[in-house]
A = this chain, B = another copy of it.
Amino acid sequence: MSIKINKYDNLNGHDLCEIILENKHGVRISLLNYGATLEKFEIPTKHGHENILMSLKKPEDYSKERNFIGATVGRVAGRIKDARWENGNQTVHFIANNHQHTLHSGGKLGLDNQVWDFELKNRNDKVEVSFYFLDPDLANHFPGNVKIKVTYSLDNDNALKYEIEAVSDQLTLFNPTNHTYFRLDGPDSSIEDLNLELDADYYLPVDDQTLPAEAGMAKVKGTVFDFRKSRRIGDALKSDEHQVKVRNGFDHPFILNGNKIAATLTSNKNKRKLEISTNAQALVVFTANGFPKTDVLSHLHAHDGIALEAQAAPTNDPKLQMASLVPGEKFHRIVKWKISY
């Protein structure tokens, strides 16, 4: 097992580093301290290492514009309806940046596009990077100083564990996620030929602004959202279902049933399987439904990757209680990605 640092730039006095974890099987993880980002997940093949993520072309591209690819997103991932949080007699207003709503915490700066500090550990059974960030009181109008630690650890069972720990000195909202897109068949492949299995009997239908619809969660049974048995993603993407059609794919929260494996991606082309487990309530499934044509994204097309974002489900309830973090509470979210090949 090894850890290597590759400094690739210095941005306004901050070192930008790629950190590379490798286990005894040659599984190789590349991480960026920019955004505590999972940049690449490479597995050994006959023809050398192959990256099974949808990634930008080079580390430098991640700070050129804001795309959230592979990043730690927060304080609150996804949408906060009407940019508003109501707690008892208090109302907090955030920055509306997606219609009248707040997307990915609003504002120009989030956990995803700032530089984190980091610390390395090479232990007998795993190699590990911890990233540290202090999000100050009133950042994007969120109350409280929040100290955040994100740890990526790779073991010799080919599992990459992602942990977010946080404490706040005031009541605040905290519901971050990791926004990695998987692309199991490697570069230039599409997710259409992958199979997805999801341990979810219910999903959240969304309205035209991708907020949970008023009627709340719905059964997947008998709908295109039914991935309880492994199904080809390409087939699902062709659905006539309005929600899928208008957005050219999925961008939906699924409520997890709680079994050990929350989701499985399998390749029909290669003998590859990715198993996802988490202690989060839900997975938001996003099928990368299209990209603006910017320089750094020029090589990417719709359905090049699939994001399975572990978090508390978004809600219409302005109380947002499941996203709350109280002083004295230890936030601890875990996601584990285990690859077989």
- Judge if A138 is at the interface, Cβ distance under 8 Å: yes
Q: Are A326 and B147 also in contact (CB < 8 A) when A7-B216, A136-B90 are?
A: yes
Which segment, of A23-31, A47-55, A178-186, A251-259, faces chain B?
A251-259
Contact of A167 among B169, B280, B326 (CB under 8 A): B326
A124 (CB) vs chain B CBs: closest residue: B260
**Alpha-carbon separation in the docked complex, A255 to B15 (Å):** 12
Which segment, of A72-80, A240-248, A291-299, A315-323, faces chain B?
A315-323
Contact, CB under 8 Å: B281 / A118:
yes
Contact, CB under 8 Å: B117 / A257:
no
Contact, CB under 8 Å: A322 / B132:
yes
Contact of A119 among B13, B171, B219, B281 (CB under 8 A): B281
- How big is the A interface, by class? 35 or more
Task: List residues of A (1-30) whose CB comes within 8 Å of B's CBs.
Answer: 3-5, 7, 10, 13-15, 17
Contact, CB under 8 Å: A312 / B121:
no
B residues in contact with A319, CB < 8 Å: 134
**Alpha-carbon separation in the docked complex, A117 to B4 (Å):** 42
B residues in contact with A145, CB < 8 Å: 87-88, 171, 324, 326
B residues in contact with A168, CB < 8 Å: 326, 328
Binary interface encoding of chain A residues 251-291 relative to chain B, with 1 for a CB under 8 A from any of its CBs, else 0:
00001111110000000000000000001110000000000
Contact, CB under 8 Å: B117 / A256:
no
- Judge if A45 is at the interface, Cβ distance under 8 Å: no
Shortest CB distance A141–B (Å): 11
Q: Are A257 and B317 also in contact (CB < 8 A) when A217-B15, A324-B147 are?
A: no
Q: For A123, A136, A260, A279, which residue has the most chain B Cβ atoms within 10 angstroms?
A: A136
**Alpha-carbon separation in the docked complex, A145 to B329 (Å):** 12
Binary interface encoding of chain A residues 130-148 relative to chain B, with 1 for a CB under 8 A from any of its CBs, else 0:
0011101111000001110
Contact, CB under 8 Å: A216 / B13:
yes
Contact, CB under 8 Å: B10 / A133:
no
Contact, CB under 8 Å: A317 / B13:
yes
Contact of A258 among B3, B10, B170, B330 (CB under 8 A): B3
Please, could you name 19 A-B residue pairs with CB atoms under 8 Å apart, sorted by A? A5-B202, A5-B257, A7-B216, A10-B214, A13-B214, A15-B217, A17-B217, A88-B137, A90-B136, A117-B312, A122-B260, A127-B258, A129-B258, A147-B325, A147-B329, A168-B328, A169-B170, A169-B327, A169-B328
Given contacts A4-B201, A13-B317, A132-B322, 15 further A-B contacts (CB under 8 A): A5-B201, A13-B316, A15-B217, A88-B136, A88-B145, A117-B322, A119-B258, A120-B257, A122-B257, A127-B258, A132-B321, A145-B324, A147-B329, A169-B171, A328-B330
A contact residues vs B (CB 8 Å cutoff): 3-5, 7, 10, 13-15, 17, 87-90, 117-123, 127-129, 132-134, 136-139, 145-147, 167-171, 201-202, 214-219, 255-260, 279-281, 312, 315-317, 319, 321-322, 324-330
The 5 closest A-B pairs by CB, nearest first: A88-B136, A120-B258, A117-B322, A134-B321, A167-B328
